[in-house]
Structure 1
Amino acid sequence: MRLAVTGREGQVAASLVEAARGRDGVEVVTVGRPALDLARPDTVLAALEAARPDIVVSAAAYTAVDQAEDEKDLAFAVNATGAGKVAEAAARLGVSVIHLSTDYVFDGTKDGAYVETDPTAPLGVYGASKLAGEEAVAAANPRHLILRTAWVYSPFGKNFVKTMLRLASDRDEISVVADQWGNPTSALDIADAILRAGARLQADRNFAAFGVYHLAGEGETNWSGFARHILDASRAFGGPHAKVRDIATADYPTKARRPANSRLSSAKFAGVFGWQAPHWRASVEVVIGHLPIGMAWIPAE
């Protein structure tokens, strides 16, 4: 099974490369700029055709949530038009597309975890652009899996785990929002799930359960609870530690509004593909275990 993954530097792309190393018969090819540039739709087909994929994983995206409020056209060009072009290219190549989306398609007002059939209502440009991308992907390629995930972290790139560890290296206390809830999700787990889903698509040529799925870590917490566990795990590995102080969203204003509830139910994915993420606490410890011990291991990216 040969997967072509859009984006070279992203957390999911890097995690897929790592996950494929120990698996016979699995090859991951990352395709990114300048060969494939989602802001330049004319580059997409040729780049993916050259990768000769069995499945396309559409992971590249514009992810600057606050900056998107000022760069709406670029966010939609990448996350909507570009994503649609990736799915269209996969269809022209006769292969399925697995597209990564986000909890930000919801407004966060539901009590309890969101399921795939809940109404979408993004609060900002980023969420709206990703929702438009879902619609473009579905319209371009009937053989699509759209995986909505949330609070993604990994040993790679910029993410909340690495930010907390870096901050803990030079301060005794970190203020973290305590009134937004969700499911921290390791990109290593997302990669494992994608490989499971991809294998199913390859093995079952009559697979008919295409559509939207939620894929997030098991268990829920708020950002401050997430931070506390990160720093406790870091201390256990000999890394930096700091006290976490709870604050409200109103105490940490941002340009883009965030959903207060980002909890996602992944029951549909588990039922169809027989795969369930580990508890987020265990996955945090795995990710921190991938990082070198001591403060030199947290670069200021």
Structure 2
Amino acid sequence: MNIVVIGKSGQLARELQQLLPESVSFLGRDDIDLVNSERLFSTLGALAPQAIINASAYTAVDKAESEPEAAHLINCDGVENLARYCKSTNTFMVHVSTDYVFNGHKGVPYMPDDTIEPQGVYGRTKAEGEKALLKILPEQSCLLRTAWVYSVHGNNFVKTMLTLMAQKPQLGVIDDQIGTPTWARGLAQACVFAAQNCTKGVFHWTDEGVASWYDFACAIQELALQKGLLKSAISILPIPSSQYPTPAKRPPYSVLDKTSARQAFSTIQPQHWRSQLAKMLDAL
């Protein structure tokens, strides 16, 4: 199947490179202009994909608060242009969104059809991208929301924690934000399945289980010590979000319900976040 991946250097794109054959085209910012629809149509037209996986996004959550235009260009305008291309060529599109489209106050796992109410610029621009996709391409797209993504590539919470745990005698980590860590490898597998099977609809895909950032940090240290990635343990203290203010609001509870995804993605199933973390640390 002729698949084109939008994105080249991000965590998800790097994992997709491990799963897809060398013949698949990965288009970075130097290869495709998501904002210029004429150039985008020309670039993709030459490749004539049967499916597109959009693994590109503006993901700097706090920076987006001071760069709303830049976030909107990639997270909304770019998605809209890709959807229009797919509409005109009968191409299937897989698009990845985020738990940040929800306000985080529901208290139980969010369903794919729950009302979205983003709290910051990043979440709003991702929500606008979702709306554009579902308006233009409802019958030829798979919208996958995910959360707390990490991998061996790029900058992420796991690698930051490992660095800090090796340097500092003590860490304070937020314990009142609840979600689900997600290894980018599992998310990449879901994207490939959706593209190859044209799995239409809105779905949630994270690893299984629930954790606070504090729980996640404790697990990172425990497993890293077992695997020899850290030499000694440090004290990790739970702290409230109020002690670590950020420019952007985070949803306090953003666990995503994956019931429909488990049914639709029949040959792959989400794995518990601790086992996925162990696999990532082995790879690291």
Interval containing the TM-score (normalised by the shorter chain): over 0.9
For residue 71 of structure 1, report the CA deviation from its aligned partner: 1.0
Calculate percent identity across the aligned residue pairs: 36
Give 1:255's aligned residue. 247
2:185 corresponds to: 188
Structure 2: distance between partners of 1:40 and 1:230: 42
SS of equivalent residue, structure 2 residue 95? strand
Against the structure 1 CA distance between its residues 27 and 169, is the aligned structure 2 distance closer, same or farther, given a 3 Å change threshold? same
Indicate yes or no: 2:221 matched with 1:231.
yes
Unaligned runs of 5+ in 1: 202-208, 292-301
Q: Is the 8 A contact 1:177 1:222 kept in 2?
A: yes
Match of 1:204 in 2: none
Distance 1:242 1:86 in 2: 47
Residue 78 of structure 1 pairs with residue 74 of structure 2: yes
How far 1:127 sits from its partner (Å)? 0.3
Q: Contact (CA 8 Å) 1:153, 1:184: kept in 2 or not? A: yes
- Report the secondary structure of 2:167's partner residue: coil
> What code does the residue aligned with 1:263 have?
V
**1:179 corresponding residue in structure 2:** 176
Match of 1:284 in 2: 277
Question: Is the contact made by 1:66 and 1:255 (CA closer than 8 Å) also made in structure 2?
Answer: yes
Amino acid at match of 1:200: N
Distance 1:261 1:37 in 2: 35
TM-score by length of 2: 0.94
Q: Which residue of 2 aligns with 1:297?
A: none
**For structure 2, which runs of at least 5 residues remain unmatched after alignment?**
none
CA deviations 1:11-46 (Å, max 9, x no partner) are 11111111225xxxx853211112213344443222
SS for the counterpart of 2:19 is helix
Query: How many Å separate the matches in 2 of 1:228 and 1:47?
Result: 46
* Paired AA for residue 282 in structure 1: S
Choose from 193, 210, 235 the match for 1:243. 235
Offset, 1:160? 0.8
Specify the code of the residue in structure 1 equivalent to 2:240.
Answer: A
Pairwise CA RMSD: 1.5
Q: Is the 8 A contact 1:150 1:184 kept in 2?
A: yes
- Equivalent residue number for residue 295 of structure 1: none
**1:50 paired residue number:** 46
Q: State the secondary structure of the residue aligned to 1:86.
A: helix
SS of alignment partner, residue 148 of structure 1: strand
Partner of 2:94: 98
**Aligned partners of 2:229 and 2:269: how far apart in 1?**
29
Measure the CA separation in 2 of the matches of 1:230 and 1:157: 17
Aligned counterpart for 2:63 among listed residues 54, 59, 67: 67
Q: Give, in angstroms, the shift of residue 167 of structure 1.
A: 1.1
DSSP-derived class of the 2:208 partner: coil
CA contact (8 A) 1:105 1:130 kept: yes
**Secondary structure of the equivalent of 1:261?**
coil
- CA distance in 2 between counterparts of 1:267 and 1:242 reads 38
- Distance of 1:256 and 1:92 partners within structure 2: 37
1:187 and 1:131 mapped to 2: Cα distance?
21
- Report matched runs for 1:68-147 at 5 Å: 68-141=64-137, 142-147=139-144
- Give 1:210's match in structure 2, choosing from 189, 200, 204: 200
In 2, Cα distance between equivalents of 1:38 and 1:242: 45
TM-score, normalising length from structure 1?
Answer: 0.89
**Aligned partners of 2:248 and 2:179: how far apart in 1?**
17
How many positions carry a matched residue from both structures? 280
